[in-house]
Amino acid sequence: MTDPLRTEHGGAFFDAIGVDFRHLERAKNVVNADVLDAWYDPSPNVIKALQENLTWLVKTSPPTRGEGLVKAISEYRKIDEESILLGSGSSSLMFWVLPKLFQTGDEVTILDPTYGEYRHVLERHGARVRIVMLQPENDFRINLNELIQAVQRSRLTVLVNPNTPTGASLSREQIQDLIGALPSDSKLWIDETYVDFDPNRPTMEAIASTDHRVTVCKSMSKFYALSGLRVGYLIAHPEFVRSLVPYDPPWGVGSLAQLAAVEALRDEAYYAEMAELTRQKRVELDLTLSAIPGLRTHASAANFILCRLDKPVTADVVKYCESISVFLRNCDSLSPSFKGHYLRTAVKNGEQNKRIVEAIESAIATLN
C-alpha cells in the first residue's frame, strides 16, 4: 500500500527475496533493475579491506566525523577539506541540508521529470515549486535558456545531472552558463549521483567549494557500487559547511562505509574501467530494447535507460516482468505527464540485460 507521507521508489525486488534477510540466496534469480545499483562489484581492494578487518570494524565505533574519508575525498577530488560534509548517503543530506537553502513561501525551480524526493522535500517545507517541463520529443533534454530564465526568478534551483529518470545531461559549459546567470542571492543545488557514468563527467565540485551560491550533493552508492553501505558527501562554500556542523550528528557514517569509500576513491583505474564497460552495456541494451515493437528509448548518459511504450500499459508490463523475477521501474510516480507510458531499467550485466529485453518483449506481446 502506498504511504502518503513518502514518495515511491524502486526496490520491489526485495519482496521477492524477503526483507527479513532469511533467504538472500534468492537474489541470484532476481534482476533488480528497478533500482540503479551498479551491475559490477566494488573494487577488489574494497572487498579485501572489508574482509580482512570485518570483525573489528563491525564492533568498533567509527571515526566520529569521518576525518580519514574527508581527507581522501579532498585528495582525490582536489577539494579543500573545509568544503566537505559527510552523510549517510545523498538522501540523508538532501533531507536535512536542502531545506536550509530556502524559506517557507520561496519559489524553488525543479525539472519535471526528475528524482521524486526533491518535490516531496520542497513541498513539505513550504516551497512554491516552479516546474521546468522536459519534452519527450526532445529526448527530455534540458532547455538551458528556459532554465536560465527560471533561475533568475527563483530563490533555489535543483538540478540532477545527469537527470533521472531521463538520463539527459548538461555539459560542464552549460552548467557554468547557468551558474553565471544566477543572481547573487539565489542558490543552485546540483545532484551528481550519476555524473561519473557520463563520459564527459561534468562535475561542479570545484566551483561549489568556492561559490556561495552552489552546493553539490554526491552519492557514493551507484558509481562506486556501495549502495548497501550508505555514504555520500556534500561540497559547498566553507562558510555554509561550518553553519551545518552544529546539526551534523556524530558517527553519521559507519566504519564499514568509511573504509569502503576510502578504498574506492583510491582505485580510480578500476572504476574508470567499470564506467566504460557500463557505457558499452548501455549502448548494447539500448539497441536491443529499441528493436522491440511498441517501445522506444531515450538517450542516456548514465547507468539506466528510460523507455516509452506506445500504449499506456506500463503497470501491466512491470507486473508481468515481476512475475518472472525481472523488476523494472514504473515511472508514473515521477511525473504526471508519463500517464502509463514510461518505464525505466537499470543497465545490468550481459545475462541480466538479456533477461530484461526478453521479459519486456514477452510482456508487450502478451498484452497485445
**Which of 30, 86, 15, 10 has its CA nearest to residue 352?**
30
Using a cut of 0.85, tell me whether the model's pTM lies above it. yes
What does the alpha-carbon distance between residue 183 and residue 215 come to, in Å, rounded to a whole number?
15
Strands (E), 81-227: 84-87, 107-112, 128-133, 156-160, 187-191, 214-219
**Which of 191, 190, 162, 174 has its CA nearest to residue 301?**
162
Give the model's pLDDT for residue 368: 80
Counting as low any pLDDT under 50, the low residues of the chain are 1-2
**Which of 275, 309, 269 has its CA nearest to residue 289?**
309
Are 236 and 214 contacting, i.e. CB atoms less than 8 angstroms apart? yes
Residue type, 337: S
| Tally of CB atoms within 10 A around 48 | 11
How is the beta sheet containing 329-330 ordered, strand by strand?
295-298, 304-309, 342-346, 329-330
Give the model's pLDDT for residue 11: 80
Give the model's pLDDT for residue 7: 63
Give the model's pLDDT for residue 1: 40
pLDDT digits (tens, 9 = 90+) for 121-178: 999 999 999 999 999 999 999 999 999 999 999 999 999 999 999 999 999 999 999 9
What does the alpha-carbon distance between residue 152 and residue 130 come to, in Å, rounded to a whole number?
12
What does the alpha-carbon distance between residue 261 and residue 271 come to, in Å, rounded to a whole number?
12
Q: Are strands 295-298 and 304-309 parallel, antiparallel or unpaired?
A: antiparallel
Give the model's pLDDT for residue 9: 74
What does the alpha-carbon distance between residue 254 and residue 61 come to, in Å, rounded to a whole number?
8
